[in-house]
Structure 1
Amino acid sequence: MSQMVLQFVTLFFFITLLLLLFVIWRVLQPLQAIKQAITERSPQELSPLEANVPSEIAPLLKSINYFMAQLDTTLSRLKRFTAEAAHQIRTPLAGLNSQAQNALDETDETLRQKQLQHILESSDVLSNTVNQLLNRATLTHRFQSHPFSPVSLDQLTKETCRELVVWALQQDVEMEYVGEVQATINGDEFALKQMLQNIIENAIKYSPKGGVVEVELMADSKKPAASWVLQFRDQGVGVPDQDKEHIFEYFYRSPDNFTSGTGIGLSIAKEVAEHHNARFHLKDNQPNGLIVEVIFPQHSEALL
């Protein structure tokens, strides 16, 4: 009798083991199919995966497709930016080479001095462009690797204004911080400071001699959500309505803008703002000039 029981238990064990192995095979088969589909793809193929999988595996497939879509967007943006950056660097380099050659061949000392001055100006533009590109690369890395922490927005703004006030006075422009509120947000302090510097430097650059740049932090409790509003007001020529939607594009320069610049600073500022779930708003100052508003939700999280 005990022999029959032992045989029965042994048979039951093997049948159970076979069923278990079959179930594991069935469960892993969709994962093998996903693995095979990824393996067979070229490195440039980042379109969504299409596979018939059980409902239990569907969230995994959705997460993989979401990641691939993000990677595709990042790579496309990187390719476009690299091509534009290469063009922006080659142009002043070619100009520097041409101007230096002309200065070597020039016999008129007055003309040579003017050509040397043009070389210095082109060198400054190239240096600023490279610095901005390096800053953008640093920020792109930080966006992916640095968590948010509490940042005193009012103190950071005051500190940035103090650091730029001497440069503003050298441009014969006065700076005023007129905010009175205290605001703390979750953010990346380094990135926020880069945003503030770019906006303030842009306002100073386009201000007339004897002009005033005002920086103000305000609380806006209007519905649907309370916000912190950073306002930067200058007294320059302003921005035409047809250019307002383009000034945040990389390397965009208005046809009517004859001031030297890289066309990168405000684009970086906008990326930092979007990373902090903030938004930009441009409007005309009175009687002339531009008002740049950066609107932060009082409870913000990173946009990854």
Structure 2
Amino acid sequence: MSDGARSHDTGLAATRSLTARLVTGLSGLMIVGGLILALAAFAYGRTAARDAFDRLLVGAANDIAASISIRDGAPVVDLPVSAFELLALAPDDRIAYQVSGPKGAVLTGYKDLPRPNTTAQDSELYDARFKGEPARYIRVTRRFAERQFSGTVEVIVGQTLRARTQLALSITRNALGGLAVGGIAMLAFAIIIVHSALRPLERLAHGISERDPQDLTPIRAAVPREVDVLVQATNGFMGRLDRQFATMKSLISDTAHQLRTPVAALRAQSDLAAEEDDPARRDQIVAKMHSGTVRLSRLLDQMLSRALVIHRADSARRERVDLRNIALDIFEEGDHAALAPGSDIRLEIAEAEVPVLADELSLSEAAKNLLGNALAHGEAPVTIGAELRDGRARLWVRDAGPGPSPELRARLGERFAPGRTDTRRRGASSGLGLAIAQSVAETYGGTLEMESDAAGFTIAITLPRAEEAP
């Protein structure tokens, strides 16, 4: 099946690849960065070009100022060729100059050149226009103090900005060219790196696709730390699926194995009752049928309860639960009266809260099964309670009997373990009750503990307190 078909079957549209996202993101970043760099490069180029050509203006103006001499009491200008050679380095630009004597009399050059706003300095650069075109000017003042002439002569030299603009644009183009080459190389390397980084994902997807549908064992693959999070999440999901499948298989297996014999016995007894003519004998058979039906109902309840508890272990949200409330609810419900009519049930709960983080329904089912096991196999009185001991929360059931032998105690908690043969109901089966309690305890980070003392045999679900629970 193709990738497109798989996407269509799952009802999910494939999004853009990581490579496409990376290329798009880097392209946008380079475009924005290129615009910023272009503005910065143009500003730098314009400054550099202005400084370079300002030096030409300064040199030309100083050469002209140096060529001024005094003859017959008047300033005379002998324009040097070197000044115009400097300005000719910008062949596309237009040049303007003016030499003026005292009182602003123009000695040579253009008569209508713009002047700076201030004349406080002997040398000053300023911007103005020349015949409608932007230009750059410099004003240089030369002072004379001779017998024949005393005063100042001003030299103004101007140049349009074409060469400056071309130089600034050239610097900008060179900077953007380097950026373009570097950006393309960066994109190429990014694509190669992304493909290399995604190879573990491709190997992981290939390994999962080739797995047997029944193989829910954890994935073992050497992947980068970032991908390991995905692997762990997938392993956790498959672990939950595996537990759910195991629960269903166990329920089916237990149903087929445990129900076949009692159902066959009930059918045989019903056949005997239908053929029996003696009323007294028929009543005995009916009583056996009723007893077998009660045991069968109890077994079915435990099997379904175990399946429910295992299912909720992965699906139910953990909440703060006070174990005292569970013990009190079980005591007040009075379901034990149906299991053991006339039984002596007592309640002992602590004054302080006994908090845990768990599923209330699962804990309640486990406690009911502990109470049912004590009523079926223990000795009166039977006590249910909740307390804190050594910093841990305990939900316990105690009966007055000595408890099972060490050999049987080691097997308690297994499914369909044999009953407590040293009590008043020899040969009875403890069924799934203790297995349910042990599963609940282990699910929420606790244990199923058993102890015997002068007060009797106690079995308890011990869990971390809510503040300590993970």
Short-chain TM bin: 0.7 to 0.9
- Preserved contact between residue 154 and residue 182 of structure 1 (Cα < 8 Å): no
* Matching of residues 198-277 of structure 1 within 5 Å: 198-208=369-379, 211-221=380-390, 226-236=391-401, 238-254=403-419, 256=421, 258=426, 263-277=431-445
Q: CA deviation at 1:60?
A: 3.7
Q: Report the Cα distance in structure 1 between the residues aligned to 2:275 and 2:247, rounded to whole angstroms.
A: 43
Q: Which residue in 2 is equivalent to 1:196?
A: 367
Q: Report the Cα distance in structure 2 between the residues aligned to 1:294 and 1:55, rounded to whole angstroms.
A: 38
Instruction: Give CA-to-partner distance per residue, 1:219-255, whole Å, 9 cap, x none.
Output: 324xxxx123344221246311111121211122238
- Preserved contact between residue 233 and residue 292 of structure 1 (Cα < 8 Å): yes
* Amino acid in structure 1 at the alignment position of 2:454: Q
Q: Which residue in 1 is equivalent to 2:259?
A: 89
Specify every segment of 5 or more residues in structure 1 that has no aligned partner in the other structure, as ranges: none
Q: Give the 3 Å change call, closer, same or farther, for CA 178–3 of structure 1 in structure 2.
A: closer
- Preserved contact between residue 369 and residue 437 of structure 2 (Cα < 8 Å): yes
Q: CA deviation at 1:12?
A: 4.2
* Amino acid in structure 2 at the alignment position of 1:87: H
Q: Which residue in 1 is equivalent to 2:466?
A: 299
Q: Give the 3 Å change call, closer, same or farther, for CA 230–8 of structure 1 in structure 2.
A: closer
User: The residue matched to 1:172 in structure 2 has which SS?
Assistant: coil
Q: CA deviation at 1:34?
A: 0.5
User: Which residue of 34, 42, 56 maps to 2:212?
Assistant: 42
Q: Give the 3 Å change call, closer, same or farther, for CA 169–68 of structure 1 in structure 2.
A: closer
Q: Give the 3 Å change call, closer, same or farther, for CA 206–3 of structure 1 in structure 2.
A: closer
Q: CA deviation at 1:124?
A: 1.6
Paired residues in the alignment total: 296
Q: CA deviation at 1:56?
A: 4.3
User: What TM-score do the two structures reach when normalised by structure 1?
Assistant: 0.82
Q: Report the Cα distance in structure 2 between the residues aligned to 1:24 and 1:59, rounded to whole angstroms.
A: 18
Q: Report the Cα distance in structure 1 between the residues aligned to 2:342 and 2:427, rounded to whole angstroms.
A: 16
- Preserved contact between residue 160 and residue 193 of structure 1 (Cα < 8 Å): yes
- Preserved contact between residue 165 and residue 175 of structure 1 (Cα < 8 Å): no
User: The residue matched to 1:217 in structure 2 has which SS?
Assistant: strand
Q: CA deviation at 1:71?
A: 4.5
Single out whichever of 32-41 and 268-277 deviates more from structure 2. 268-277
* Matching of residues 21-36 of structure 1 within 5 Å: 21-36=191-206
Q: CA deviation at 1:119?
A: 1.5
Q: Give the 3 Å change call, closer, same or farther, for CA 66–276 of structure 1 in structure 2.
A: closer
- Preserved contact between residue 152 and residue 184 of structure 1 (Cα < 8 Å): yes
- Preserved contact between residue 220 and residue 228 of structure 1 (Cα < 8 Å): yes
Q: Give the 3 Å change call, closer, same or farther, for CA 206–277 of structure 1 in structure 2.
A: same
Kindly report the root-mean-square deviation, in angstroms, between the aligned alpha carbons of the 2 structures: 3.1
Instruction: Give CA-to-partner distance per residue, 1:62-84, whole Å, 9 cap, x none.
Output: 55445545654554454345312
- Preserved contact between residue 387 and residue 394 of structure 2 (Cα < 8 Å): yes
Q: CA deviation at 1:39?
A: 0.4
Q: CA deviation at 1:13?
A: 3.9
User: The residue matched to 1:176 in structure 2 has which SS?
Assistant: strand
* Amino acid in structure 1 at the alignment position of 2:399: D
Q: CA deviation at 1:61?
A: 3.6
Q: Which residue in 2 is equivalent to 1:101?
A: 271
* Amino acid in structure 2 at the alignment position of 1:234: D
Residue 167, structure 1, aligned to residue 337, structure 2: yes
Q: Between Structure 1 and Structure 2, which shows a larger proportion of strand residues?
A: 2
Q: Report the Cα distance in structure 2 between the residues aligned to 1:126 and 1:169, rounded to whole angstroms.
A: 13
Q: Report the Cα distance in structure 1 between the residues aligned to 2:364 and 2:220, rounded to whole angstroms.
A: 43
Specify every segment of 5 or more residues in structure 2 that has no aligned partner in the other structure, as ranges: 1-169
Q: Report the Cα distance in structure 1 between the residues aligned to 2:372 and 2:420, rounded to whole angstroms.
A: 21
User: Which of 1 and 2 has higher RCO (CA within 8 Å, sep 6+)?
Assistant: 1
Q: CA deviation at 1:158?
A: 2.0
Q: CA deviation at 1:212?
A: 1.2
Q: Report the Cα distance in structure 2 between the residues aligned to 1:169 and 1:243, rounded to whole angstroms.
A: 23
User: The residue matched to 2:312 in structure 1 has which SS?
Assistant: helix
Q: CA deviation at 1:207?
A: 4.0
Instruction: Give CA-to-partner distance per residue, 1:137-183, whole Å, 9 cap, x none.
Output: 32223222222222222233122112238717963321222334232
* Structure (1 or 2) with the larger CA radius of gyration: 2
Single out whichever of 171-180 and 90-99 deviates more from structure 2. 171-180
* Amino acid in structure 2 at the alignment position of 1:266: L
Q: Which residue in 2 is equivalent to 1:140?
A: 310
* Amino acid in structure 2 at the alignment position of 1:253: P
Single out whichever of 197-206 and 258-267 deviates more from structure 2. 258-267
* Amino acid in structure 2 at the alignment position of 1:299: A
